[in-house]
Amino acid sequence: MKTKNSGIPYRLRILFGCLIILLTVTGSPVLLFLFWFFTPNRVNLILLISALLLIVLFGILLLIRNIKWKPWLITLGTAAGVLLAVYVGNCFYQQWEKSIQIDERGVDLGKYEPFASNTKAASLDEPALLQFKKGDSIPRLDGATALYPVYSAFVRATYPQGDYPVWLGNGQVVCTNTVHAWERLIAGETDIIFTAAPSAEQKLLAANAGVQPVLTPIGKEAFVFFVNQSNTVDNLTLDQVRGIYSGAVTNWKEVGGKNTAIRAFQRPESSGSQTALQSLMGDTPIMTPIQQDVADGMGGIIRRTAAYQNRDNAIGYSFLFYATEMVRDHDIKLLSLNGVTPNRENIRNGSYPASSFFYAVTNGPPDQTEQQLIDWILSAQGQALVDKTGYTPLSE
Give the pLDDT confidence of 220-279 residue by residue, as tens digits.
999 999 888 889 999 999 999 999 999 999 999 999 999 999 988 887 776 778 888 988
Rounded (10°) CA dihedral 307, 310, 313, 317? 60
CA distance 378 to 338: 31
DSSP state of 140: P
* C-beta atoms surrounding 283 within 10 Å: 5
262 bridge partner residues: none
DSSP readout, 257-310? S-SSB-EE----TTSHHHHHHHHHHTTSPPPPPPEEEEE-SSS-EEEEEPPEE-
Residue 316 has φ and ψ, to the nearest 5°, of: -145, -175
The one-letter code for the residue type at 394 is L
What letter does residue 139 receive in the DSSP assignment? Answer: P
pTM above 0.85, yes or no: no
CB atoms under 10 Å from CB of 23, counted, come to 12
Rounded to whole angstroms, the Cα distance separating 108 from 392 reads 22
In one-letter notation, the amino acid at residue 313 is N
Instruction: Provide the residue-wise pLDDT of the chain in tens; the chain has 396 residues.
Output: 444 444 678 788 888 888 888 888 888 888 777 777 766 677 777 888 888 888 888 888 888 877 787 788 788 778 877 877 887 777 776 665 555 555 544 567 889 999 999 999 999 999 999 999 988 899 999 999 889 999 999 999 999 999 999 987 778 999 998 889 999 999 999 999 999 989 888 999 999 999 999 999 999 999 999 888 889 999 999 999 999 999 999 999 999 999 999 988 887 776 778 888 988 999 999 998 876 543 333 333 333 444 566 778 888 888 888 777 644 656 788 999 999 999 989 998 989 999 989 999 999 999 999 999 999 999 999 999 999 998 999 976
Q: Which CA distances in Å does 59 have to 18, 22, 63, 69, 140? A: 7, 9, 7, 13, 63
User: Which ranges of the chain does DSSP label H, i.e. alpha helix?
Assistant: 10-38, 42-62, 69-100, 148-158, 178-186, 200-208, 238-246, 272-281, 320-329, 344-348, 368-378, 380-389
Please answer whether residues 30 and 93 qualify as being in contact, where contact means their C-beta atoms are separated by less than 8 angstroms: no
